[in-house]
Structure 1
Amino acid sequence: MAVAKSKAGKHAAPLLGKYELGRLLGRGTFAKLDKPELAATAGMDARVLGEVSAMRRLRHPNVLRLHEVLATRSKVYLVMELAPGGDLLSRLAALPKRRLPEHAARRVFLQLVSALIYCHARGVSHRDVKPQNVLIDADGNLKVCDFGLAALPESHRDDGRLHTACGTPAFAAPEVLRRKAYDGVKADAWSCGVILYVLLAGRLPFDDSNIAEMCMKAHRREYTLPEWVSQPARRLVSRLLDPNPATRLTVAELSSHPWFKRSLSLDSQLGSLLGGAPERDLLFQAPPTLNAFDIISMSPGLDLSGLFGENRRSREKRFMTTASPEQMVEQLGHSGAKLGYFMVGKKGVERLPLGGLSGLVAMSMEMSEVAPPLMLVELRLEAGDDEEVQAFGWDELRTELGEVVMAWHGCEEL
């Protein structure tokens, strides 16, 4: 990031003694927050506070992280995670056909679903899910952002429903556009359906400058999918773009749909399309080799994590295997699917987060070569609070993994 300089050519003074301001990356509704302007604009201060409240309770690999909030007498600064890859809409617009191949669309959509299930499990409805609010990090991973319109548990009335019509019309559910009481979780599911349609077709399903007419088209399901879209994908879009919220599929129910049960191939297209490193090159990289000092340091007897307040053993499990990285990824994917988890590619086969459809935890896997063909597999829960980590089904996962797991004396087994 380029650092801002003063007229004298020197670096500008660090902001509040902590940050150096660099070049402008983008501009949004709340990109520049002046306290007098917040106070003068009706509802804007509440939206900013709502966004901060929502993001402070969310910590997920596919949700943009809020690091801290700083304030001076005149300004408010939200320090967020950097996502230099731009937004999903811009990425799609740069593609020749403005859409993704179905296998790549599935992998993008999985990350979006994982983030929203996590949010919903914590009582947060986004209410403005659209490609512009999905950013891309340096590795090509999705980061859901802009929680300015998010509804928190305290936003619901006594009937448990939401009553504020908000969001972007082309992505908003019919019941929201018609200003009826609605379920924020079901409204987010509709928006996901619109995004999935855009990923597959390269255009919006309902696009009309007349909002009333667009609402009628959505209510009548007046959309057509291109012939290249598979039947399972068509059925999924139909279940999400259901104008009746009572029968509409929720994002938490997606694990049972055939389109999500298909195994995800470790191809290179997602990385090259969305700006991450090509996975084809990473797929065939040799795993790192462990020396004697690495192996000894992994002994439970030398585990010093307890001195630092971290319950490492509840978050990490290790085992030996003779399976190849490709075979291990495939087996972990099949085993996780039976338990309600799915694989999301990150950096080839050496590190792949396992995002639970419960939305509560995310797991990464790393493999290292000990002595051919022996490999050390390390599983670690990257996200989730202590209660969720303690409740994670390690025993069930070991059972599903079956014969690929080999015990190794001196290292904690699954």
Structure 2
Amino acid sequence: MQPRRAPAPSSGAGSTGGVILGKYKLGRLLGRGSFAKVYHAVSLSDNTAVAVKVIDKAKTVDAAMEPRILREVAAMRRLSRHPNILQIHELMATKTNIYLVMDLAPGGDLSAALRRRGGRFPELAARRYFRQLVSAVHFCHHHGVAHRDIKPQNLLLDDAGALKVTDFGLSALPDQIRHGLLHTACGTPAFAAPEVLSRHAYDGAKADAWSCGVILFLFLTGQLPFDDSNIGAMYQKTLRRDFQFPRTISKQAKFIIYHMLDPNPSTRLTIEALMNQSWFEKSWPLDQASPNSLPQPTKDRKFTATEMNAFDIISMSAGLDLSGLFENGKRERRFTAEAPAEEVEERVAEVGGKLGYRVERKKGMGMGLVKGRTALVAEILAVAEKVVVVVVKAEDGGGWDFEEFHWDDLKVGLEGVALSWPNDVC
């Protein structure tokens, strides 16, 4: 699709001149980075204000940013509808640009809010923001996502003052985890756990818990617990827990921070344990959902289909091919089926078992099919009632041949259920 001009251009510094992008009218420039600009925009259908991130494809190639964009979109697909996670509503593209339509966060980020409050928050305000952060992080972890870059600049405020976690460009998805651990050192050093700084294998959820502890300390003191321009010296401080509490912090808050900043991840206070602390639960606002009451993956059901949204549909559309941007080195096949998700899952598992694959249920992300060195993930995406798309791909991107999965046999096994089988291999 090509943006077009509105009859009445908007005015003002940094304005796009009233460019119409799909059902949105772009307005003033809100900010810019090395490869993207963010504009204020208004929905033409209901006059809702949103933000549109315009990503220059040419610059993303030079900056090697495609993997970050891919992870951000994939993470947002999993994390839709949480009140404290910034939502991406639509993904669009032209030959030169990618457009991400997101929630508008006019309150800016938490670093700016800290400056407005004199460098630190009163404990009541700090606890309010901290609970919203933990609620969002807990939701991420239960949907298989580790954020890995929790810092004030990635915590925004909406027009009602609610916290919104954003920037999932460094997040880790389930298919990046090997043997339950992550191996890529990333994030911002002052907020990163010691096991990340040491470049050892680490648990993404426990690393996020450490970052949350740093955030709480910053909220209450206006300072970082471990702050040194020399990363090696900073790492040594984290190992020794070399920081001091001001007298103004309550004993309960000190307890939480001390145990979240445990350099040993196996004894570190987890997000789940934190949410049961009395200081955390105290005076939870009645008009806001408690983190424990937010939707969680169903434990009794073997599988819950992921709801397909605009990102999935656009990425599959031949008329708007984003494969040049989102190619991630993995080969995959997909097919559509007309049946409830649970029935399709059982049929795929049955056929896979007959072909010699070991079936492994994978919480929140479909199921695994394993035979020898071949490991596949089958994810079922619900398009509508009793209509699903099944995506089967290599779990680790290793070399394997799709013919080993016996696609002809799978077609026969799903006869009467499968609607279409695309011939192309991504």
TM-score bracket, shorter-length normalisation: 0.5 to 0.7
Q: Does 1:356 align with 2:296?
A: no
**Aligned equivalents of 1:219, 1:110: Cα separation in 2:** 26
Compute the displacement of 1:234 (Å): 0.5
1:25 corresponds to which of 27, 30, 34: 30
**Superposed, which structure 2 residues align to 1:2-401 within 5 Å?**
4-5=10-11, 11-15=17-21, 17-28=22-33, 31-32=36-37, 33-42=55-64, 44-58=65-79, 59-96=81-118, 98-157=119-178, 159-262=179-282, 264=283, 343=284, 345=285, 352-357=287-292, 359-360=294-295
Amino acid at match of 1:82: L
**Aligned equivalents of 2:70, 2:18: Cα separation in 1:** 29
**Aligned equivalents of 2:16, 2:128: Cα separation in 1:** 45
Compute the displacement of 1:261 (Å): 3.5
Contact 1:115 1:359 in 2 (8 A): no
Contact 2:217 2:224 in 1 (8 A): yes
**Aligned equivalents of 2:16, 2:137: Cα separation in 1:** 44
Amino acid at match of 1:74: T
Compute the displacement of 1:207 (Å): 0.7
Distance 1:99 1:34, change over 3 A: same
**Aligned equivalents of 1:239, 1:104: Cα separation in 2:** 21
**Aligned equivalents of 1:3, 1:111: Cα separation in 2:** 39
Distance 1:3 1:63, change over 3 A: farther
3-state DSSP of counterpart to 1:63: coil
Compute the displacement of 1:160 (Å): 1.6
**Aligned equivalents of 1:101, 1:170: Cα separation in 2:** 22
**Aligned equivalents of 1:127, 1:72: Cα separation in 2:** 30
**Aligned equivalents of 1:30, 1:150: Cα separation in 2:** 19
Amino acid at match of 2:159: A
Compute the displacement of 1:93 (Å): 1.2
Contact 1:3 1:11 in 2 (8 A): yes
3-state DSSP of counterpart to 2:112: helix
Superposed CA deviations along residues 109-147 of structure 1, whole A, max 9, x for unmatched, are 110000000010000000000111000000000000000
Amino acid at match of 2:273: E
Compute the displacement of 1:252 (Å): 1.8
Distance 1:121 1:170, change over 3 A: same
3-state DSSP of counterpart to 2:248: coil
Superposed CA deviations along residues 224-263 of structure 1, whole A, max 9, x for unmatched, are 010011111101001100000000111122122232242x
**Aligned equivalents of 2:96, 2:211: Cα separation in 1:** 36
Contact 2:109 2:153 in 1 (8 A): yes
3-state DSSP of counterpart to 2:290: strand
Distance 1:235 1:22, change over 3 A: same
3-state DSSP of counterpart to 2:25: coil
Compute the displacement of 1:5 (Å): 4.2
Superposed CA deviations along residues 316-355 of structure 1, whole A, max 9, x for unmatched, are xxxxxxxxxxxxxxxxxxxxxxxxxxx3x4xxx6xx1223
3-state DSSP of counterpart to 2:27: coil
3-state DSSP of counterpart to 1:205: coil
**Aligned equivalents of 1:3, 1:94: Cα separation in 2:** 34
User: Which structure has more helix as a fraction of its residues?
Assistant: 1
**Aligned equivalents of 2:290, 2:33: Cα separation in 1:** 30
Contact 1:206 1:223 in 2 (8 A): yes
Contact 2:36 2:56 in 1 (8 A): no
Higher relative contact order (CA 8 A, sep 6+): 1
- Kindly tell me the number of residue pairs found equivalent between the two proteins: 272
- Cα RMSD, aligned residues only: 2.3
**Aligned equivalents of 1:78, 1:126: Cα separation in 2:** 19
Compute the displacement of 1:37 (Å): 2.4
Amino acid at match of 2:216: L
Q: Report percent identity of matched pairs.
A: 56
3-state DSSP of counterpart to 2:91: strand
**Aligned equivalents of 2:66, 2:86: Cα separation in 1:** 21
Amino acid at match of 2:116: A
User: Which structure has more strand as a fraction of its residues?
Assistant: 2
3-state DSSP of counterpart to 2:89: strand
**Aligned equivalents of 2:34, 2:153: Cα separation in 1:** 12
Contact 1:118 1:358 in 2 (8 A): no
